[in-house]
Homo-oligomer: A and B are copies of this chain.
Amino acid sequence: MGKRGRKKGADGEKRRSLLLQVSAEEFAKNGYHETKISAIVQKANVTQPSFYLYFQSKEAIFQELVAIFQQKLMTLVQQSLLESGLEKSTLEGEITERITNILSFFKEQPALTKIGFYLANESEEIKSQMARQIEQNLLIEQENGYFRADINMHTVAESLIGIIERLTKTKLLNGVTKPEQLANEIVRLLLYGLKS
C-alpha cells in the first residue's frame, strides 16, 4: 500500500472524530443554522463528500453530538445519585460534591454542553430527564426527614436545573467562577435560603 493509500479503520476513525469535534465547536459558537457544512469541512481539512462518508446529514452529526452529551450527562448524574450513601453526616457536602461533578463536566465539555443543554430541540427533554432523577433523590431525602416536608420537590428539582443552567452560562463557561465555588453557593442558597 503506497503512501497515498488510506488505511480504513484508523484514519477513518480519526477523521470522523475530528469532524465531530470541529462541528461541535462550530455549532456551539454559531448555532445550528448558522453553521455551514462547508465551514466545518474547511476547518477539518476534509472535502465535502468526505463528510457524507461519515455522517448522513448535517442533522445527523448534530444529533450525534446531542446524543453524546446526553449519554455522558446521564451516566454522570446516575452515578452521582446512585452512589448516594447518605451516611455522611454532611449532607451539604455530599450534595455539593454531586453538583460539582456536573459543573465540572460542563466546564470540561463546553461545546457539547452548549449544544446539548442550550441549542438542541431535545435540550428540554434532557433537562427534564435530569430533573426527574434529581427529584427522585430529593424525595428520598425528604422522606428521610432531611428536607422540609411542605415543599414541592418537583419544583425544587426544576429550580435547581434552572439555576445550574443559568449560572453555567453566566459564571461557569466564561471562567468567572470555578465549579466547586459555584456548587457551594448554589447549595447554600438552596439549603438555607436567603432569610436572615
> Chain A interface (Cβ within 8 Å of chain B)?
32-33, 124, 127-128, 131, 138, 145-149, 151-152, 155-156, 158-159, 161-167, 169-171, 182, 185-186, 188-196
Contact = CB atoms under 8 A, between A and B. Distances in A.
Nearest to A170: B158
Contacts of A194: 138, 147-148, 151, 156, 190-191
B191 A195 contact: yes
6 tightest Cβ-Cβ pairs between the two chains A and B: A162-B166, A193-B193, A33-B33, A162-B162, A192-B193, A159-B163
Contacts of A163: 158-159, 162-163
A78 B195 CA distance: 23
17 contacts: A32-B33, A124-B169, A146-B196, A147-B196, A148-B194, A148-B195, A151-B189, A151-B194, A155-B171, A155-B185, A158-B170, A158-B171, A161-B166, A162-B165, A165-B165, A189-B190, A193-B193
Please give the count of copies of this chain that the complex contains: 4
Contacts of A165: 162, 165-166
A33 B188 CA distance: 41
Contacts of A188: 151
A189 B193 contact: yes
A167 B163 CA distance: 11
Given A128-B170, A165-B166, A159 B193 contact: no
Contacts of A128: 170
Given A163-B162, A165-B162, A196 B149 contact: yes
A32 B32 CA distance: 11
Given A32-B33, A163-B163, 11 more contacts: A128-B170, A145-B196, A148-B192, A148-B194, A151-B194, A152-B185, A158-B170, A159-B162, A189-B193, A190-B194, A192-B195
A166 B165 CA distance: 8
